[in-house]
Structure 1
Amino acid sequence: MENISKSFKGNQVLDELSFHVNDGEFVTIVGPSGSGKSTLFHLIGGLYTPDSGEIRMDGELMNGQRGAISYTPQSPSLLPWRTVLHNILLGGEIICENNELEAIRMIERAGLKGYEHAYPCELSGGMQQRVSFIRSLMSPQSLICLDEPFSSLDEFTRLDMQNWLLSIWEENKRSILLVTHHIEEALYLSDRIIVLSGKPAKIKKEFIIPFPRPRQESIILSDEFLQWKRTIYNELRGS
């Protein structure tokens, strides 16, 4: 993202925003409500075009181009008439690819063995979200955008899902851009955290997270983790 600005009916949402995601990197964006985080995903996904600036992927200009990213929304958004397996295979079907054996392996890896032919209404919220993320992983795009995918889950289910996400990501190392309001989630998952200001959004601060990988759940209660949480919280409060 190079000097991206976006306004709606004279209301400026983004102001010359610039950042990047490296290959295989996990980057999280945090910011106050209404700071344009969802607008960013709409721009990256080609649903909107920026008023100015350039969106590039592997050097190619992507302004207004759709189909370049894999997207996991806040709600699982599974098609209710398709089974778990056929929801996961959807991205491949769009480009006339079928990788059913890999999909079944990923379903088993997610702890959903035996649910391949179940329908979304037969799954819990956490199970549906796992299916949604596997669908993103099985799509061919190199960048996955996650829009607060665990916001509807309780604290313990959220942590289980974070651990599962990290284990799957460590195996595949896709580039991930996450939007969340949850500071602990951002710290636990990310290589870098980008803090946005209030509207019109600019980048206030960027933090490189020092915790080694694979991440251990015990770091969440460490003094260093709590100090990082305090630092990012204060940065956000200053927005």
Structure 2
Amino acid sequence: MSHLQITKLSKQFSGNVVLREFDLTIEEGEFVSILGPSGTGKSTIFHLIGGILAPDNGSIQLMGKEINGKRGFISYMPQTPSLLPWKNILQNVLLGQELHGKKDPERAMDMLKKAGLEAYEKAFPNELSGGMKQRAAFIRALLSPQSMICLDEPFSALDELTRLEMQKWLLSIWEEYRRTVLFITHNIEEALFLSDRIIVLSEKPAKVKAEFNVPYLRPRNESLLLTDDFLKWKRKIHYALTGGPNE
């Protein structure tokens, strides 16, 4: 049984068809990235999986259970960290657990330590850098009890060096816990570096235009980004996005 199974999903807004018979399958522990042009419905897919929106047609199943229009089944991390300014960092990372009636401060402190945030447990979000806020937000997502994490361009607002550091950190933490992740990004290099599989979307109404199994073994390090093979794969995915020449 697949972890997430989306079948013939359709959604429109005031006659504007965003998704039409969209299919997607994700296996347990898999890291899958979605790439596509702006406005193709990537965030809409997340809102449908998370139950913020209900599909017009089709089925969303998580571990065999249909979750159409139902909330609370995934852990969601948006583009901005969305930390509560009146709570300190420890309280923020425990929020997902708190909403489900069970907190584990000891585990939270262990993860804050691994993220280099142990000295900031009592600090408030306005005292942290952008990268530190993103680490705290991801720890909150990991600590939440849901079996699947949806990450919506979490590093898009960071500068290039901070973004690379966050990608490496995310890989190190994910490889330890191996939660099922669906990741939205506009960055081909980021998708290749992080993912097991990459889904390329078409223009609206969005369908799966291409799919790539990333060939690189784990663990990965940044030297991979400079190899000729990595550039070849980056070019191949770029052409799938833009409709350029095939290799």
Q: Which amino acid aligns with 2:218?
A: R
Distance, in Å, in 1 between the alignment partners of 2:203 and 2:38 is: 8
Pairwise CA distance, 1:221: 0.5
* Structure 1 position 60 matched with structure 2 position 41: no
Paired positions, count = 239
* Structure 1 position 229 matched with structure 2 position 225: no
Q: Deviations over 1:67-118 (max 9, x none)?
A: 0000111000000000000000111111110100000000000011210000
**Aligned positions of 1:172-211 closer than 5 A:** 172-211=177-216
Distance, in Å, in 2 between the alignment partners of 1:136 and 1:216 is: 23
Q: Which residue of the partner structure matches residue 23 of structure 2?
A: 18
Distance, in Å, in 1 between the alignment partners of 2:75 and 2:47 is: 12
The answer for unaligned runs of 5 or more in structure 1 is none
Secondary structure of the equivalent of 1:14? strand
* Structure 1 position 32 matched with structure 2 position 37: yes
Q: Which residue of the partner structure matches residue 138 of structure 1?
A: 143
Distance, in Å, in 2 between the alignment partners of 1:30 and 1:185 is: 10
Aligned residue among 68, 73, 77 for 2:82: 77
Instruction: Give the TM-score of the pair, scaled to structure 1.
Output: 0.99
Aligned residue among 8, 16, 23 for 2:13: 8
Pairwise CA distance, 1:216: 1.9
Pairwise CA distance, 1:217: 1.1
* Structure 1 position 88 matched with structure 2 position 88: no
Distance, in Å, in 2 between the alignment partners of 1:41 and 1:34 is: 13
Distance, in Å, in 2 between the alignment partners of 1:98 and 1:139 is: 9
Distance, in Å, in 1 between the alignment partners of 2:94 and 2:53 is: 27
Q: Which amino acid aligns with 2:19?
A: L
Aligned residue among 111, 128, 149 for 2:133: 128
* Structure 1 position 220 matched with structure 2 position 192: no
The answer for unaligned runs of 5 or more in structure 2 is 1-5
Q: Which residue of the partner structure matches residue 47 of structure 1?
A: 52
Instruction: Give the TM-score of the pair, scaled to structure 2.
Output: 0.96
Q: Which residue of the partner structure matches residue 156 of structure 1?
A: 161
Q: Which amino acid aligns with 1:182?
A: N
Pairwise CA distance, 1:120: 0.1
Q: Which residue of the partner structure matches residue 3 of structure 2?
A: none
Q: Deviations over 1:187-234 (max 9, x none)?
A: 000000000000110110110000000012111010110000001111
Secondary structure of the equivalent of 2:136? helix
Secondary structure of the equivalent of 1:46? coil
Secondary structure of the equivalent of 1:19? strand
Q: Which residue of the partner structure matches residue 112 of structure 2?
A: 107
Distance, in Å, in 1 between the alignment partners of 2:117 and 2:91 is: 14
List, as ranges, runs of 4+ consecutive aligned residues in structure 1 with deviation greater than 6 Å: none
Q: Deviations over 1:5-37 (max 9, x none)?
A: 110011100011101111000000000000000
Q: Which amino acid aligns with 1:192?
A: R
